[in-house]
Amino acid sequence: MAKKVETISLIDTFSEFKETKNIDRMTMVSVLEESFRSVISKMFGTDENYDVIVNPDKGDFEIWRNRVVVADEELTNPNMQIALSEAQKIDASYEVGEEVTDEVIFAKFGRRAILNLRQTLASKILELEKDSLYNKYIDKVGTIIAAEVYQIWKKEILLLDDEGNELLLPKTEQIPSDFYRKGETVRAVVARVDNKNNNPKIILSRTSPVFLQRLLEMEVPEINDGLITIKKIARIPGERAKLAVESYDDRIDPVGACVGVKGSRIHGIVRELRNENIDVINYTSNIQLFIQRALSPAHVSSIIMHEEDKKAEVYLKPEEVSLAIGKGGMNIKLASMLTEYTIDVYRELDENATDEDIYLEEFADEIDEWVIDAIKAIGLDTAKAVLNAPREMLIEKADLEEDTVDEVLDILRAEFEE
């Protein structure tokens, strides 16, 4: 009776794990066998003379022990050997040297053995669960999934997928204006799977360029069909993004296909990304032309390329400079990210101007030396170079206060007005 009770208890445990952890039957049978063998090995020092048979269909298990018959006085290891007199109680025909196989009632090993078995089984199943979770999500890296908000912490959100697996959306991977409540569904891309100490953590992202790429693939059939290729993406999450697209079919306008009629295809993505403005441009391998397109909506007058340093000096009409830089320097920053070139913008020089230029050192009596050094450090050596450079660039790149920049510009302008 004891055996039956313990059998039912253990098989219930087996069924529970099988049902909730999505582990296949053959694997579970193997884990049960290993767990029994582990406990037997701990108790007797070896499990090599035991046969463990798990019957998942019947919901029970059997353990059989194999022992060699020895003369009564030669019995030294009751686990591996059986005395002749004991063997003949089972069957009178047994002789020394033969093997006796008898069934072992696991429950008779005692409560400690049963507890040990359950702990071993739980540990092995937990390992399997972790392996299963890792293998499932390592194949999903770069794909969009939907999950439910379960708990919200300061630095991250805990989400559950449809199988109850835990996923993490760190604050750094959330769009700044993201706001969620418990029970809401979140869409994000699987960014990576960390597996330190065999403890998988699935990290999601809504700020990754891959998230935008996958959303576009879902909305634009031509991308999904391979007729349009997304070549480059640059994002300032929740604010603005630029992406370069290319079509190998002259009949397809890649920009128009991505945007859709009256923006129909892009609108849904913009909403998902919390009103992130998305600029779509035609990709070209001509880097000079690519930089011009990347600085849209500004119109570039001329570009001087420094390909060895991956730098570009871009000259624009004065009224175009603020467009090229964009609000908070966002347009030029995205253009640099997209083209992988450092872009410096300048006002177009007046070709009719006849005034001679003056080196900054000549103003040392009016401008502090450290200010001159800071301006020269960003490649501006003369008064006209500074006057032609955007004010925003002087503030940001030279790391100067606005008042300091305005004072310098006033001093330099006054020189030429005289």
SS3 category, 292: helix
What is the C-alpha separation between 144 and 217, in angstroms, rounded?
11
Q: Is 231 left (phi over 0), alpha (psi -120 to 50) or beta?
A: alpha
**What letters, b where the CB count within 10 A reaches 16 and e where it falls short, cover 228-255?**
bebbbbbbbbbbbbbbbbebeeeeeebb
10-residue stretch averages of pLDDT, the chain, 418 residues long: 48 54 72 86 89 77 91 91 92 92 82 82 83 92 97 96 94 96 97 91 97 96 94 96 93 93 92 95 95 94 91 89 89 96 83 66 89 87 86 86 92 80
Q: Is the bond preceding residue 78 a cis peptide, omega within 30 degrees?
A: no
Q: What pLDDT score was predicted for residue 1?
A: 38
- Contact yes or no for 379/344 (Cβ under 8 A): yes
Condensed to tens digits (0 to 9), the pLDDT of residues 282-304 reads 999 999 999 999 999 999 989 99
Q: What pLDDT score was predicted for residue 349?
A: 62
Strands 166-170 and 144-152: unpaired
Q: What pLDDT score was predicted for residue 292?
A: 95
Q: What pLDDT score was predicted for residue 238?
A: 94
The angle, 0 to 180 degrees and rounded to 10, between the axes of the packed helices 287-294 and 330-339 is 150
What domains appear along the chain, each with residue ranges and CATH number? 2-135 (3.30.1480), 147-207 (2.40.50.140), 284-348 (3.30.300.20), 360-417 (1.10.150.20)
